[in-house]
């Protein structure tokens, strides 16, 4: 069983930065990722990091967001710079129960991973 807890969300103006953290307990040695969901919209995978450190992003955040993981602390991060109003939403970290989802799913499918946290709200005003 994996438990995930996000923190670090908040309200910023466009162009600002936030750093999200996801503290994990349990086995997170496969890939992990972040997804977001805005009101009235479908969940959207944002970034993913594999066990070998390879990172993947959707085009909308490429160059602005950076995903990283501290394995010693079992903590996942998402550094978000140059934030835009369209980045507003609830942000969740997620982890799969096995390696298989990491092998067959892409960054956009992070929201389908078995384990998810409660989320942290990010609000970007123009």
Half-sphere exposure of 112 (CA within 13 A, CB side): 9
Compute the C-alpha angle 3/110/16, nearest 5°.
90
Per the document, the length of the chain is 126
Closest CA to 95 of 59, 52, 56, 49: 49
Characterize the bridge pairing of strands 75-80 and 18-25: antiparallel
Residue 27 confidence (pLDDT): 87
Q: Tens of pLDDT along 71-91?
A: 999 999 999 999 999 999 999
CB 16 within 8 A of CB 83: yes
Strand, coil or helix: what is 98? coil
Burial (0-12, 13-18, 19+ Cβ within 10 Å), 15? exposed
Tell me what the pLDDT averaged over the chain comes to: 96
Q: Tens of pLDDT along 20-46?
A: 999 999 888 899 999 999 989 999 999
Q: Tens of pLDDT along 96-110?
A: 999 999 999 999 999
Give the C-alpha separation, 43 to 111, whole Å: 7
Q: Tens of pLDDT along 63-74?
A: 999 999 999 999
């Amino acid at each position: 069983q994996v438990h995930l807890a996000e923190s670090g969300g908040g309200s910023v103006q466009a162009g600002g930065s936030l750093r999200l953290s996801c503290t994990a307990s349990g086995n997170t040695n496969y890939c992990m990722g972040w997804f977001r969901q805005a009101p009235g919209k479908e969940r959207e995978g944002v970034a993913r990091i594999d066990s070998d450190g390879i990172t993947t992003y959707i085009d909308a955040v490429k160059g602005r967001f950076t995903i990283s993981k501290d394995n010693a602390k079992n903590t996942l991060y998402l550094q978000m710079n140059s934030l835009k109003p369209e980045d507003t939403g609830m942000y969740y970290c997620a982890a799969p129960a096995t390696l298989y989802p990491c092998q067959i799913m892409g960054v956009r499918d992070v929201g389908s991973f078995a384990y998810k946290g409660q989320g942290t709200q990010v609000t970007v005003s123009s």
